[in-house]
Amino acid sequence: MAGLLNCAPQSAKAQVGANINLSPRRLVFEANARASTVLVFNTGAEPATYNIELVDRIMTPAGAVLGLADAPKNEATADAVSRLKSAREMVSFTPRRVVLAPGETQTIRIRIQRAADLPAGEYRTHLTVTAVPPPDQGLTADQAATAADANLSVRLTPLFSISIPVVIRQGPSQIGVEFENVAYRAAGSGEAAAGGVMTLDIVRKGASSLYGDIEVRGGDRGSKPLGALGGVAVYPEIDRRTVQVPLARAPAKGDQLNIVFRDEDTTPGQITKAITYTVK
């Protein structure tokens, strides 16, 4: 019997099919764009089989991205589900299953079909690639039913799954960002971030999603960032999310820190928000 887990790459080594990578890490179809490709890499030392599907997912205010079936039933997630504009019916792709030798790459071809009267807005689904367990792992349902051993046990095999967002924008992009509730917290005993962390809310102001990098720099102490957080997204079903940026060293009281959001979506590399924060 196999279970499906959506796990971060750092916890993936114990999972079947964890040695996989996708490129690019997200797809955005602006205006009249209709086709693109995604590369699937088997970075492991063994052959592997992967299923490919589209899964609608929501983002929570904490930044978690959950499949609709996995989202807890509460007011916040219900609101996010109601605001999600699915792109699933507009996306077609091929192939739907790949078998890759070690080091082999497969191209997934993706096509977009927009309705002629599609309302303006941003639509999203997630291209999801999931490992298929080797045939020698566990028993089939028929084998389990006919097994003579009355003490037959069930073994769960975690499978690795990786997703990238597929975003379709109808009409011009509307992207804006603000920072709120900015604060510095010094490192406590046993914390990994020796310099403490900056916490802040990223507030999405436009109708489109945000995607970019956050950097914290130390005023007059050179241009090297004290801390950075890359690939931060805020999807349209939420208005804000709280993030924590670990710092390499602790700033002194009264230090002025420059905090910037660097866009990696419509204007890659451009700073779209910058503030100065005085450490209290």
pTM, full prediction: 0.83
Q: Which helix (H) or strand (E) segment is 83 a member of?
A: helix 75-83
Q: How confident is the model at residue 269 (pLDDT cuts 50, 70, 90)?
A: very high
State the first-to-last Cα distance of the chain, in angstroms, to the nearest integer: 54
What is the predicted pLDDT for the residue at 69? 85
Query: Tokens representing 6?
Result: 């959506």
- β-sheet bridge partners, residue 163: 128
102 φ, ψ to 5°?
Answer: -55, 130
Q: Tell me the average pLDDT of the chain.
A: 86
Q: Residue 9: what pLDDT?
A: 34
Average pLDDT over residues 25-52: 94
Q: Among 132, 130, 131, 87, which residue's Cα sits nearest to residue 110?
A: 87
* Residue ranges, CATH 2.60.40.10, the chain: 2-170
According to the model, what pLDDT value does residue 76 have? 81
Residues contacting 242, CB < 8 A, separation 6+:
61, 62, 63, 181, 199, 200, 201, 202
Q: How many CA atoms lie within 13 A of 1 on its CB side?
A: 9
Tokens matching residue 9: 């790459």
Mean pLDDT along residues 3-31:
66
Alpha-carbon gap, residue 228 to 32, rounded angstroms: 34
For the segment 108-154, what is each residue's pLDDT rounded down to a tens digit? 999 999 999 999 999 999 999 999 987 665 555 565 556 555 555 55
Residue 16 predicted with pLDDT over 60:
no
pLDDT at 150: 55
For range 92-113, the mean pLDDT:
97
Q: How confident is the model at residue 190 (pLDDT cuts 50, 70, 90)?
A: low
Instruction: Give the tokens for residue 20.
Output: 């996989």
Which phi and psi angles does 13 have, rounded to 5°?
Answer: -65, -25
Mean per-residue pLDDT for 154-169?
A: 82
Q: Looking at per-residue confidence, does 133 or 158 come out higher?
A: 133
17 pLDDT tier (thresholds 50, 70, 90):
low
Domain 177-278 CATH class label: mainly beta
DSSP category for residue 86: B
Provide the token pair at 68.
């609709």
User: What is the pLDDT averaged over residues 204-220?
Assistant: 91
Percent of the chain with pLDDT over 70: 84
pLDDT at 6 over 50: no
* pLDDT in the model for residue 11: 35
- Across 256-262, average pLDDT: 95
Q: What is the pLDDT of residue 194?
A: 83
CATH class as words, domain 2-170: mainly beta
